[in-house]
Structure 1
Amino acid sequence: MTGRDMRKRLFAGERLRALRQRAGLGQGAMAARLGISVSYLSQLENDDRPLTSAVLAALGRHHPRELDELEDDDGARRFSATRAALDDPLFAEAPLPPDMLARLVEQQPQFAERFVALHAAYRDSEERLQMMEEAMSSGVSDGGRLPWEEIRDWFHEAGNYVDLLDRRAESLAAAIGPGEPALIGRLRTAHGVGIDTGGDAIDAPLRALDRATRRLSLSPALPPESRRFMLAHQLVALEMEDAISAITESASLRSAESRRLLSIGLANYAAGALLMPYEAFRGAARSLRHDIDRLCRRFAVSFEQACHRLSTLQRPGARGIPFFFCRVDMAGNITKRHSATRLQFARFGGACPLWIVHEAVAIPDRILVQLAETPDGLRYVQMAKGLVKPSGSYARSPRRYAVALGCEVEHARDFIYADGIDIAAPGAATPIGISCRLCPRTDCDQRAFPPADRTIRIDPDRRDIVPYRVG
């Protein structure tokens, strides 16, 4: 492959223009983002000039998940994948200039492909080793995973994106239209299911389907967005029963309980995709700069539902910003978690106490923001909000928890919650870790346990905030 052939395959003006317009940027703002002139950008969009390696590298920094939309050949995709691998902090001390990287990928394509594969294997082995160390330090064996832990791991390994269900949900949404009447009508006409909302017993379930009478009972205490989600869950569970069953049966799970939990989780996933169809939701999220309150109003969903859906936008060729998402209860337990970023959550035990999500639990209905830095030097912008789910009765306590959503700082311009944060300031970031047992920091005043792989020093004649020093 000659350099001339490679350049010919990098003309992508129409797609570059579409990317800019979806991001809601004028030519001036886009040119400034890419570090080029407006006239040069205009030439690129009109296919008067090819995309150079420097422009591709800038696009990769600011629009990494959209870069594959511009790349229509193996060489360009190889360049993007190699650049993404070299962005690992492991290589931070010796970065390759874009032109040098482009020459390497062009002249040694097999080496580039193997390097990318090796890096992916390295990241996977690091994550698995971390999981093993965490399990061992917490006294939990892999064989002792509970069913819901097994299902959380299944979704994590699937990238929190299930293509078959997502696309079928999107098609179903287009067929029936939006709104609760559309859901009720489809349940009635396609499945003969009627809706009951009259029961008011304090111990009544939130949702219950009587298959003999074809009646779906919904708790009248459900907020409107939760009621719509329950309707959507029941509809996709009936419409996609074959697909959900096939996915469940092909999963390597240890027990029948795990398989039933996975079926429920897949129906919940499809319900979210039905209420927030992929392309429509992704486009709205980008145009609104991921303002969750506005997304909630546009799609008639809850704050948590919108946050969770943002973390699932991983469709090949049409990816959203890679987010991490989690839900934390009053005791600090992580009850939902997923990360499309390089940040990984603790699987056992508590999360880092410096994480803003813990403060958010105690302050409901207020959005908190934080710039955080992990031990590998990566910085993340995250928002957290405390939520209260009403119980419908004074006799039952409401559920209190918080959700957090965040991304790496390279996406800060597209994340409205980063506005007002100086992401480049040296001391602006809060130093966080995964959990105390895995955190290598030696100077943290909030440490609850020493790291599992370090020795500690105890001096009876000295007392610091933490009663030992990490070796």
Structure 2
Amino acid sequence: MQCCEVAKSNFANYVKSVTSRRRLFAGQRLRQLRASRSMRQSELAEDLGVSASYLSQLENDQRPLTPALIERLADLFPLDWQDLGADGTERLAVALREAAADPLFSKPIPPARLARMAEQQPDLAERFVTLHEAYRRAGQRLEMVDDALAAGSPAGARLPWEEVRDWFHLANNYVDTLDRASEALAARLGEPSPSIATMENYLRSALAISLIYSAQGGIRSFDAEMAHLTIDPGLPAESRRFQLAHQLVSLALRDEILSVIEAAALPNAASRQLLFVGLSNYAAGALLMPYMAFRSEARRLRHDIDRLAQVFGTSFEQTCHRLSTLQRDGARGVPFFFCRVDMAGNITKRHSATRLQFARFGGACPLWIVHEAVAVPDRILVQLAETPDGLRYISMAKGLVKPSGTFERPPRRYAVALGCETAHADEFIYADGLDLASDRTVVPIGISCRICPREDCDQRAFPPSDRAIEVDPDSRGVVPYRFS
């Protein structure tokens, strides 16, 4: 009899604990969210699709949040909701929702059911999320192989720079150990963004490196045996500062960098050396723009690149590149895509934390605003674009001229582009003034002509590789063929 009473008591406690876990009271977090956005109660209530009185009850913990409201908050304020400290079950539910929203699945799963799955079957939910991530990664690797074969190069014959580029892509352009080590190093240097003088002093005093400013050694040259670092004095201040940071982290964080390279297991020495350079560049950016301080300032300024560059003393390109790396678990930034395009249309840098992926071979879509930006330096251009899958993106592009410091070498000319999905328009100052719902002003772009399915594009250079062309000798449009 006593065993039965204990069993009943245990079951009652279990039911009580499950019930309490399901009832999420988040009044303080909702008030924080509203205050951070300077919103009135009626405005937030309207966005959530509830009455102001219902929101008041939520904020005073008189009612719990429902799964539908949690999903609505995650949709409307993804970064804010993450910052307000959602617990592990909520984060799992969000990850489960993102995985279940893959176009692979025909019907969406209701939010309440996903929330119950995350709460009642967390192990199964985590395995589903992990499997979906593995499926997505496998798809990306197959695309790499397909692109290589279509470009006429064997899948196993990637050039070293291609191997390093793909490594960064598959790492989501975020290296946690290096990012945190660089952030800690910046804190030890005692400045939110270390100055040239501070880094020079650290190199001399802590690392016993002598500094020489001379144009005889190229942009940067380091003699490890003599411990001499030579930097071109003709570089712009932000470029000199970045070169100092690169050499500093490549010495101070050498063990951390080599550990990442060893884990990468790249097949040849050239690839590993290139990865060392790439990781040193990554760590240099993380030193000059420490993660949490940079992310906080970026959100405060709504990702205004010029103002961010002024705060951290970095170049326009360096600032854009850093924004594309903000992928730390629990403190993610806006998912951006970033690329650099030269005068010939070649993409020389690329990364995307969005669903937009760049072509691995050849140039970008000619309708994309980044090409116009190359020809119009020092002017920011903005574009609302739509990819064939129906997703819309806000693109910001700027043409840049990097001086060489001498008449003997011409300056380098290129453009950089940064963009995000329209769901994050409130966080992106360049979206201001755009009609995001307009079908008249949106520009239909593709990834590249080789894989673009659009039939009505006047800028098409050649047909998609998987479609047969049809030619009518008696009829000529802008493009001299059609495709089935």
| TM-score, normalization by structure 2 | 0.89
The residue that corresponds to 1:166 in the other structure is 179
Question: Partner letter of residue 137 of structure 1?
Answer: A
Report the alpha carbon displacement of residue 55 of structure 1 after superposing the two structures with TM.
2.2
Stretch deviating more after TM superposition (362-371 or 204-213): 204-213
TM-superposed CA distance for 1:433, in Å, is 1.2
Aligned to 1:4: 19
Deviates more, 1:455-464 or 1:408-417: 455-464
How far apart in 2 are the matches of 1:206 and 1:31? 56
Cα RMSD (Å): 2.4
Q: Secondary structure at the residue paired with 2:378?
A: coil
Aligned to 1:181: 197
Q: Distance in 2 between matches of 1:145 and 1:238?
A: 29
Tell me, in whole angstroms, the C-alpha distance in 2 between the residues paired with 1:32 and 1:215.
63
Q: C-alpha distance in 1, partners of 2:396/2:350?
A: 15
Q: State how far apart, in whole Å, the 1-side matches of 2:472 and 2:372 are.
A: 33
Name which structure has the greater RCO, CA cutoff 8 Å, separation 6+. 1
Alpha-carbon displacement from aligned partner over 1:198-235 (angstroms, at most 9, x marks no partner)? x244xx41111222332211101110011111111111
**1:413 counterpart = 2:426:** yes
Q: Partners in 1 of 2:154 and 2:391 — Cα distance?
A: 30
Q: C-alpha distance in 2, partners of 1:271/1:364?
A: 26
Give the Cα separation in 2 of the matches to 1:188 and 1:14. Answer: 49
Q: Which position in structure 2 is the counterpart of 1:352?
A: 365
The residue that corresponds to 1:193 in the other structure is: 209
Matches within 5 A, 1:321-336: 321-336=334-349
Q: For residue 285 of structure 1, what is the aligned residue in structure 2? A: 298
Question: 1:104 deviation in Å?
Answer: 5.5
Alignment-mate amino acid for residue 63 of structure 1: F
Describe the superposition over 1:422-446 as per-residue Cα deviations: whole angstroms up to 9, x where unpaired. 1111233211111111111122111
| Correspondences of 1:289-328 after superposition (within 5 Å) | 289-328=302-341
Identity between Structure 1 and Structure 2 (%) = 61
Task: Check conservation: 2:90, 2:115, Cα contact below 8 A.
Answer: no
Q: Verify: 1:224 aligned to 2:237, yes or no.
A: yes
Is the aligned partner of 1:379 residue 2:392?
A: yes
Partner deviation per Cα, 1:291-314 (whole Å, 9 max, x = no partner): 000000000000001000000011
> Which residue, out of 144, 151, 154, partners 1:131?
144
**Is 1:434 the counterpart of 2:433 in the alignment?**
no
Name which one, 1 or 2, has greater alpha-carbon Rg: 2
Partner of 1:80: 94
After superposition, give the CA deviation of every residue in 1:114-133 in whole Å (9 maximum; x if it has no partner).
54344434433332333233
Residues 137 and 170 in structure 2, CA contact (< 8 A), matched pair in contact too: no
Cα displacement (A) at 1:99: 3.8
Alpha-carbon distance, 1:470 to partner: 1.3
Deviates more, 1:214-223 or 1:307-316: 214-223
Q: CA deviation at 1:14?
A: 4.1
**Superposition TM-score, scaled by structure 1 size:** 0.92
The DSSP-based 3-state class of the residue aligned with 2:206 is: helix
Q: Work out the CA distance in 1 between the residues paired with 2:255 and 2:319.
A: 27
Q: Which runs of 5+ in 2 are unaligned?
A: 1-13
Q: Contact (CA 8 Å) 1:205, 1:219: kept in 2 or not? A: yes
2:156 match: 143
For the 8 Å contact 1:292–1:306, the answer to whether it is kept is: yes
Q: Provide the C-alpha distance between the structure 1 equivalents of 2:425 and 2:459, rounded to a whole number of angstroms.
A: 27
Unaligned runs of 5+ residues in structure 1 are none
Q: How many residues align?
A: 466
Map of 2:8 onto structure 1: none
Matches within 5 A, 1:261-276: 261-276=274-289
* Contact 2:337–2:419 under 8 Å retained in 1: yes
